[in-house]
Structure 1
Amino acid sequence: MRDHKLQFLLRLGDNALVLGQRLTEWVGKGPALEEDMALANTALDLIGQARLWFTYAGEVEGKGRTEDDFAYLRDAHEFRNALLVEQPNGDYADTLMRQYLFDSWHLLLLDALAGSSDEQIAGIADKARKEVTYHLRRSAGMVVRLGDGTPESHRRMQRALDDLWMYTGELFSTDEVDTAMQACGVIGELAQLRSAWREQLAGTLSAATLALPPDDAWMQRGGKQGRHSEHMGFLLAEMQFMQRAYPGLQW
């Protein structure tokens, strides 16, 4: 049970860390100052959440590993994030659509975790969902604004949605880790979140004049088990460079 909880916590922390790292790649490059700052703030929120999940993961593991150890001293196959969050930023449509698809799921998950039988998980989730509520409000608003904008912005948002859709199924897939966490009341059925997620997406995408992809589309999987896309290695090479090049480096 301890190993299952560790893996579950690493999934939560890795999702936040990897997406936070992706968003930092936009710092200084955003299409407008307001957007640049918004993405930077979202990244900071996510990295802060990752620290909380990793700190608790270290306590559960009991081997003395810290948040920095989990972030900087693991290889790609040891990360447990969903494939969606490691996808490249692409253009701004790709970044915003990736963010919206994740935010809409993330808030539902955190709402469920806030009622967890594990008080520490419930506490972290309750704190994080206050931040993610804002993340979703912003990303959903931008999806509507650009989807229902110019013909070019509409085209790009629809393409981004179609391209990223294959990575969303993994968010609701379950394995022995999820089953163990459900059995002890840490989390409910992930599959039950899917209907609420689809309903939420349908409303936002309708307002954005975007077509929701079919529910039975083929889906990619594997990130939660450590099988990642080719993009993950490049992301980690940049994120972990200083610690790998100068082991034990401290500011």
Structure 2
Amino acid sequence: MSEHKLDEQKLDYLLRQGDNALILSQQLSKLCGKGPALEEDMALTNVALDLLGQTRMWYGYAAELEGKGRSEDDLAFLRDAGQLRCTLLVEQPNGNYADTMVRQFLFDTWHYFYMQAQLQSSDPRVVEIAAKSIKEVTYHLRRSGDLIVRLGDGTADSHARTQAAVNALWPYWGELFNYDAVDAAMVEQGVAPAAAPLRAEFLEHVGEIFAEATLTMPSADAWMHSGGKRGVHSEHLGFILAEMQFLQRAYPGAQW
């Protein structure tokens, strides 16, 4: 494979990481001032800021690799939905608090094991990003897992809402482990980790937390949605971008 082709695939890979973090950060930022308790409201905002910081690192590397003079802001605010490579999971609506936390927990579980594996990447810049992110990602997983247990093993109402959220969001996590040609190339180059061991760790941890939360875990072999990594998204992403990108779209080049 040519070096140019590998650079294109690495760029796509870097954008996928940044797009996941950006869109989930934007989703959580909408909840500022709406948390069920003051401490939780602040925690949601802090997670959003952590993810935004990680976005900047991925986009910064992507912009350098691309070499076309685009900035982090260009990548965030001047790409249309079809150009984003986030998975469908992160663009699902906030819904009620159980929906928000189940979405977060599923993402956090994948993110934690993925970042742990990326500490062994053959790309020094990827290792650097993972090393700077791993403490945040570890906290995110510990926090969301604890909240899933509290919601699932709480009142009858919180249990029912959390189980409903699990059932609704379960078909979206599979895309995280559904590797395509870009993922395969990155695995072959040692940049990214293989899917199978990560998937096993993901299912083991999710199973442990769901058992403690008295939640029924759907089948790991259930049908899964896909498309986000190749730019085919749900209708939700368009609304997210319309809000997030409004200023730059309405006033090109605007600065504070």
For residues 99-178 of structure 1, the aligned pairs below 5 Å read 99-178=104-183
* 1:93–1:160 contact (8 Å) kept in structure 2: yes
Percent identity among equivalent residues?
59
* 2:118–2:130 contact (8 Å) kept in structure 1: yes
* 1:97–1:160 contact (8 Å) kept in structure 2: yes
Letter in 2 for 1:149: G
- Among candidates 193, 200, 210, match of residue 205 of structure 2: 200
Task: Classify the secondary structure of the residue corresponding to 2:224.
Answer: coil
Q: How far is the alpha carbon of 1:30 from its aligned partner?
A: 1.1
Task: Classify the secondary structure of the residue corresponding to 1:168.
Answer: helix
Q: In structure 2, how many angstroms separate the alpha carbons of the residues matched to 1:192 and 1:3? A: 26
Q: In structure 1, how many angstroms separate the alpha carbons of the residues matched to 2:193 and 2:34? A: 40
* 2:114–2:193 contact (8 Å) kept in structure 1: no
Partner of 2:8: 3
Residue 188 of structure 1 pairs with residue 188 of structure 2: no
Letter in 2 for 1:144: V
Letter in 2 for 1:178: D
* 1:173–1:191 contact (8 Å) kept in structure 2: no
* 1:6–1:60 contact (8 Å) kept in structure 2: yes
Q: How far is the alpha carbon of 1:32 from its aligned partner?
A: 1.1
Structure 1 unaligned runs (5+)?
Answer: none
Letter in 2 for 1:33: L
- Among candidates 83, 96, 121, match of residue 91 of structure 1: 96
With the length of structure 2 as denominator, give the TM-score of the two structures: 0.97
Partner of 2:86: 81
* 2:91–2:237 contact (8 Å) kept in structure 1: yes
* 1:108–1:197 contact (8 Å) kept in structure 2: yes
1:161-192 per-residue CA deviation (whole Å, 9 max, x = no partner) reads: 00000001101001110011011110121222
Structure 2 unaligned runs (5+)?
Answer: 1-5
Q: In structure 2, how many angstroms separate the alpha carbons of the residues matched to 1:60 and 1:116? A: 17
CA RMSD of superposed structures (Å): 0.6
Task: Classify the secondary structure of the residue corresponding to 2:194.
Answer: coil
How many residues are matched? 251
Q: In structure 2, how many angstroms separate the alpha carbons of the residues matched to 1:198 and 1:216? A: 11
Superposed structure 1 runs of 4+ greater than 2 Å apart: none
Partner of 1:22: 27
Partner of 2:245: 240
1:71-127 per-residue CA deviation (whole Å, 9 max, x = no partner) reads: 000000000001000000000000000000000000000011111000000110111
Q: In structure 2, how many angstroms separate the alpha carbons of the residues matched to 1:116 and 1:7? A: 17
